[in-house]
Structure 1
Amino acid sequence: MSGARIRSITFKAGYAADSLTNAITGQGTSADWRRANVYQSCRLTQYQIASAYDGSGLMGKVIDIPALDKVRAWRDWQADKDQITKLEAEEKRLGLRQKIRLAEVYRGLGGGALVLGLPGDPTQPAPNVNKGGIAYIHVVSRFKLDIGRLIEDYRDPNYNKPERYRLSTTGGQIDLHPSRVIAFPGDPVADVIGMTDEDRFWGKSRIERMMEAVQNSDSANGAFAGLVAKVRNTVIKIPGLMDIVSTQEGEAALRRRLSAMVMGESLYNASLMDAGTGGDNPGEDVLFNQVNWTGIPDIMMAMAQFVSGLSDIPMTRLLGTSPAGMNATGESDMANWNKMIRAGQEIELAPCIDELDRYLIPSALGSRPPEIFYEWAPLDVPTEKEQADTFAVFMGAAEKLQLTATIPERAFSEALQNALIERGYMPGLEGALESIPESERYGVSAEPDGDGSDPSELQASGKEADPTSARNGGPSPRSATGATDAATWLADAKPRPLYVSRQLLNASALIAWARANGFATTLPADDMHVTILYSRNEVDPLRMGRDWREDDKGRVTVRPGGPRVIERLGENAVVLSFASPDLVYRHKDMIEAGGSHDYPSYQPHITVSYEIPAGVDLDALKPFNGELVFGPERFEALDLDWKSKVREA
């Protein structure tokens, strides 16, 4: 019987309870003290709610913080610049943010509403609103609104909503049509037992859930504050005290004695006492007892943490305290809190805002364009470094998106400029762009520039490309019958030795790297390329087909990083070798189609220069690690005399 644990089934009053019982402690039996625990619904009156909100600073923060944070960053309109200006001006005229915040405070106190100042009889449905149609927006507590009977027909779109509102004012009562009132109900209540229509519609105050926890925390703080006055408790033992105070003269002498002791301690920072003469004349005994605060701050913090947990507000936001725990920064707490606020915006506030925007948008613009909408602004305020990092990531993503050529150049330029303006990355950009003609603003010209660089322009003019503008084989110059005259060269599809390459479109980045690493000269930017095929065999160029790995503009991109080497190739060429499965597979396709290769294997590379800088150790040189963007394939007749045409700049 040492454990006294009995697994039993107890039959009581018509039901069976299967539980763990203990005959010694009474657990699970009728003697169990926990059986006295009963949960009861505690509904507060409006006076109790107001007293708790006004009387407790902690309770006030529990209600005010969520209301403030829901409107702190507000929202960003998605519309034209002129429309955004008008919408923001209308919100400012009506004081919308401040009034939404107050309505959210009332929501925490049990409910509130916005009363719209719309034209016409307030008892009738709201009419269509024209420009400036909202005269005002007022905020009222639920306790000033009497709701009519709730609509109980579940087929009605307004099921469980009031048929009308009645506003109580000092001048009397005013009936309001539901379309002129936007309700901000409190926390929902479980409609499992009988309740009034008021409670079913408005819900309950957040104070009802927080009352006990806040009271416990406030009581702990109050008790501690009371102890501060008793930081040192003095006990004075006076021989024959009862005999002394039994007479008026003795009582007066005692007061004078205590006054002298206090004065002596104040003037000389010393306690004066009668040491007595011993024997029948003992002296006074003064004891000083110091209050021990050990554990009290922990108890107070535990109370506050319970309030924090129950209200879902992190301690760093509720009390401004430093986060606890090893390596704690509070960032995760605030991130979770921001998620809570965003959920409150989407679930609680957004339906109210959407109902209001039915009237706000036409009041600002005169109509309600269906394409206008809003997004909640970010809740975090990033640091300057975070903003710079975000901008770098954003521009990197934009550059990669542009290289895919999935968006027309003009549309991409316009969207990018709008993004830079809306995000505030470049202050003053909008004004600077407005002074530029639209034909030049987006950097895209509809007409050919006439510089002869476009193959169609060369062909139309009867000119041939500069024979030194490209390379064969390794870094060889392009022949006069190059890709710019490809239509003539490929006219008969006669088999011949073939050279295929792709020009490096972002060669300026590689040249900048070379200059920074001591190269006095490099190949010109338009001569930097990667060789795909150097075939001495005669092949039919049309059998090569197209590379299905390229984008719709014929480009191939090698992502940053990966295996790369700076090495010497041949007698004195310095090349950047890199890994690119796409180029390797394309080379194999051409070999299988009849092409040849002078070496056992194919390694994609770009010739940087033919002059090795003095004192530069190529083995120790860190290769260029950036993105490589190659243009469309160039089919050319093989030029075996390319070495004599090498030029560097």
Structure 2
Amino acid sequence: MTQKPRYKLTTDGLVNIVSGLGTGKGKRDYNRFVADQLLGYQELEAAYQTNWIARQIVDIPADDMTREWRTIKCQAADEIRMEEDRLNLQSVVNEALSWSRLYGGAAILPLTNQDMERPFQPEAIGRGGVQRLMVFDRWDLIPHAINTWDVLAENYLQPEFYTLYQGSQKIHWTHFIRFVGSKLPRRQRVLLQGWGDSQLRRCLEDIKDTVAAKDGIAELMQSANIDVITREGLSEELSTDQEGEIIARYTLFDQMKSIINTALLDGDEKYDRVTLNLSGVAPVIDTLMVWIAGAADIPVTRLFGTSAKGLNATGEGDLKNYYDSIRSQQTSQLDRPMAMLDAIMVRSALGNMPADYNYDWNRLAQPNRKDEAEARKIEAETDVILLDAGAVGRAQVMRRLEADEVYQYQDGVIDGIEASEDLSLGPVEKPEGEGDDDEQPAI
């Protein structure tokens, strides 16, 4: 008769029958990840309103992504910047990013004279055609008519129309410029009509642990010092219904100690003070701070405003990695909605979309004047070497200086110098008799 196995073994991994590891007997065998609740905004709003850490997690990356803004590169850049200021574009994008991180999605609605129920046509925007830019979070938009029939459409499995919360006006989806939160698997994205995940939701458990630890320590601090009085015959007095007299006695003791700094005791009483040991509390808080900073993808020095710890630690490496992450988010999260905004805003500024329009995000790290001077000195020395070697001409160096906004020249000056320079390179002549014997015929 075949005996049944005592334990149910796992299909792979380390197994130890004696300790129960991998046999279904160990506690770790029952660890499972379960999907969290993605819907709902009440707790997110409450955390953002009442807790400064939650607000920092939402606002800091949004502020950093738009803090230094961008540099527009085209001939009509000044006019476009004026239109940006009129529409308050930088502040609008910052707000949309914040609500996207808080709720998992937000949208900008340009107010124009086009019919809201018909598809939006950016090419029909004329000079001054954008009246205002309005920001809505994903819970302000009520979806209608989910597109399940056109798999080639950009809004596949997303609504065809939206209505605003407590409104009746139907608005075609093309009028909204969407800012999607953190990416989710496709099945969860379909459940949320194309919106993403809240960055704050992913950090809520860590925020709760940190706040609970801080509140618990604050409660302990209230009773860090406890007065202990030893009194002979206390048990007998309590058994003879003398609680009232005892309470009155030591109430008077506390009053005298706080008013005249005097402790009055009887001959058979002994006074002692017990101090709570809180020496191991600070490392717990430090660990929670590091953990929550990792969950938020923000350095501790930036999230909590603390200085870097450790020997010769400056925090510059952490900030550099963080700024690289911000630049990556600008590229992955902002470039697409900014392209849609520019298609509208630039036409509103100029009446058309110039072919040479482009922009660059300004760098976040601001070097000091000494670093800038050293960098320019190295560039100048490189320019001198290239000029002496004949690899570049004066006009090329001048154009680079003008593009980097180091110097500005009058119109036509660079073109005149370029016309007078001859940088055409002819065939390189070899000295007579050199290399002739080493040449091999082509095969």
TM-score, scaled relative to structure 1: 0.60
Q: Label 1:447 to 1:29 Cα distance change in 2 as closer, same or farther (>3 A).
A: closer
Q: Label 1:19 to 1:590 Cα distance change in 2 as closer, same or farther (>3 A).
A: closer
Map Cα deviations across residues 537-579 of structure 1 (whole Å, 9 max, x no partner). xxxxxxxxxxxxxx8589xxxxxxxxxxxxxxxxxxxxxxxxx
2:176 to 168, 171, 181: 181
Q: Which residue of 2 aligns with 1:296?
A: 281
Q: What is the distance in 2 between the residues matched to 1:406 and 1:159?
A: 54
Q: Which residue of 2 aligns with 1:166?
A: 163
- How far the C-alpha of 1:331 sits from its partner, in A, is 0.9
Q: Which residue of 2 aligns with 1:543?
A: none
Residue 73, structure 1, aligned to residue 68, structure 2: yes
Q: What is the distance in 2 between the residues matched to 1:258 and 1:141?
A: 59
Would the aligned equivalents of 1:165 and 1:175 in 2 still touch at CA under 8 Å? yes
Q: Which residue of 2 aligns with 1:212?
A: 205
Would the aligned equivalents of 2:189 and 2:195 in 1 still touch at CA under 8 Å? no
2:168 is paired with a residue of what secondary structure?
Answer: strand
Q: What is the distance in 1 between the residues matched to 2:46 and 2:11?
A: 44
Would the aligned equivalents of 2:62 and 2:98 in 1 still touch at CA under 8 Å? yes
- How far the C-alpha of 1:326 sits from its partner, in A, is 3.1
Q: What is the distance in 2 between the residues matched to 1:26 and 1:16?
A: 11
Letter in 2 for 1:168: Y
Q: Label 1:381 to 1:447 Cα distance change in 2 as closer, same or farther (>3 A).
A: closer
Q: Which residue of 1 aligns with 2:440?
A: none
Q: What is the distance in 2 between the residues matched to 1:11 and 1:447?
A: 90
Q: Which residue of 2 aligns with 1:143?
A: 139
Q: Label 1:359 to 1:439 Cα distance change in 2 as closer, same or farther (>3 A).
A: closer
Q: What is the distance in 1 between the residues matched to 2:425 and 2:331?
A: 42
Q: Which residue of 1 aligns with 2:302?
A: 317
- How far the C-alpha of 1:20 sits from its partner, in A, is 2.9
1:108 is paired with a residue of what secondary structure?
Answer: helix
- How far the C-alpha of 1:19 sits from its partner, in A, is 4.0
Would the aligned equivalents of 1:147 and 1:198 in 2 still touch at CA under 8 Å? no
Matches within 5 A, 1:23-172: 23-44=17-38, 45-80=40-75, 83-109=76-102, 110-127=104-121, 128-148=124-144, 149-169=146-166, 172=167
Letter in 1 for 2:323: N
- How far the C-alpha of 1:136 sits from its partner, in A, is 0.5
Q: What is the distance in 2 between the residues matched to 1:174 and 1:255?
A: 70
Would the aligned equivalents of 1:125 and 1:178 in 2 still touch at CA under 8 Å? yes
Map Cα deviations across residues 296-333 of structure 1 (whole Å, 9 max, x no partner). 10011101111111221111111122223333221110
Q: Label 1:414 to 1:26 Cα distance change in 2 as closer, same or farther (>3 A).
A: closer
Q: What is the distance in 2 between the residues matched to 1:293 and 1:447?
A: 79
Q: What is the distance in 2 between the residues matched to 1:88 and 1:37?
A: 55
Name structure 1 gaps, 5 residues minimum. Answer: 1-8, 276-282, 449-550, 555-584, 594-649
Residue 272, structure 1, aligned to residue 264, structure 2: yes
Map Cα deviations across residues 238-297 of structure 1 (whole Å, 9 max, x no partner). 33445556778x55543443233223323454433212xxxxxxx122221111111210
Name structure 2 gaps, 5 residues minimum. Answer: 436-443
Map Cα deviations across residues 97-132 of structure 1 (whole Å, 9 max, x no partner). 111111111111221110111222111122311111
Letter in 2 for 1:165: Y
Residue 396, structure 1, aligned to residue 359, structure 2: no
2:349 to 330, 343, 364: 364
Would the aligned equivalents of 1:405 and 1:552 in 2 still touch at CA under 8 Å? no
1:225 to 218, 221, 224: 218
Would the aligned equivalents of 1:119 and 1:126 in 2 still touch at CA under 8 Å? no
2:53 is paired with a residue of what secondary structure?
Answer: helix
Q: What is the distance in 1 between the residues matched to 2:202 and 2:367?
A: 34
Q: What is the distance in 1 between the residues matched to 2:127 and 2:115?
A: 19
**More strand by percentage:** 1
Q: What is the distance in 2 between the residues matched to 1:186 and 1:445?
A: 50
Letter in 2 for 1:363: S
What is the count of residue pairs matched by the alignment?
A: 424
Q: What is the distance in 1 between the residues matched to 2:101 and 2:194?
A: 15
- How far the C-alpha of 1:133 sits from its partner, in A, is 1.0
Q: What is the distance in 1 between the residues matched to 2:383 and 2:74?
A: 22
- How far the C-alpha of 1:592 sits from its partner, in A, is 7.5
- How far the C-alpha of 1:412 sits from its partner, in A, is 4.1
Q: Label 1:369 to 1:293 Cα distance change in 2 as closer, same or farther (>3 A).
A: same
Q: What RMSD, in angstroms, separates the aligned Cα atoms of the two structures?
A: 3.1
1:203 is paired with a residue of what secondary structure?
Answer: coil
Identity %: 27
Q: Label 1:590 to 1:271 Cα distance change in 2 as closer, same or farther (>3 A).
A: farther
Matches within 5 A, 1:447-486: none
Q: Label 1:440 to 1:231 Cα distance change in 2 as closer, same or farther (>3 A).
A: same
Larger-Rg structure: 1
- How far the C-alpha of 1:28 sits from its partner, in A, is 1.6
Q: What is the distance in 2 between the residues matched to 1:366 and 1:405?
A: 44
Letter in 2 for 1:223: G
Would the aligned equivalents of 1:187 and 1:206 in 2 still touch at CA under 8 Å? yes
Q: Label 1:285 to 1:340 Cα distance change in 2 as closer, same or farther (>3 A).
A: same
1:202 is paired with a residue of what secondary structure?
Answer: coil
Q: What is the distance in 1 between the residues matched to 2:64 and 2:413?
A: 43
Matches within 5 A, 1:484-499: none
Q: Label 1:352 to 1:35 Cα distance change in 2 as closer, same or farther (>3 A).
A: same
Map Cα deviations across residues 603-626 of structure 1 (whole Å, 9 max, x no partner). xxxxxxxxxxxxxxxxxxxxxxxx
Letter in 1 for 2:161: R
Would the aligned equivalents of 2:7 and 2:24 in 1 still touch at CA under 8 Å? no
Q: Label 1:150 to 1:306 Cα distance change in 2 as closer, same or farther (>3 A).
A: farther
- How far the C-alpha of 1:63 sits from its partner, in A, is 1.2
Would the aligned equivalents of 2:62 and 2:97 in 1 still touch at CA under 8 Å? yes
1:332 to 297, 314, 317: 317
2:23 is paired with a residue of what secondary structure?
Answer: coil
Would the aligned equivalents of 1:235 and 1:286 in 2 still touch at CA under 8 Å? yes
Would the aligned equivalents of 1:58 and 1:214 in 2 still touch at CA under 8 Å? yes
Matches within 5 A, 1:336-355: 336-355=321-340
Q: What is the distance in 1 between the residues matched to 2:230 and 2:11?
A: 62
Q: Which residue of 1 aligns with 2:254?
A: 262
Q: Which residue of 2 aligns with 1:458?
A: none
Map Cα deviations across residues 446-488 of structure 1 (whole Å, 9 max, x no partner). 789xxxxxxxxxxxxxxxxxxxxxxxxxxxxxxxxxxxxxxxx
Q: Label 1:396 to 1:177 Cα distance change in 2 as closer, same or farther (>3 A).
A: farther
Q: Which residue of 2 aligns with 1:22?
A: 16
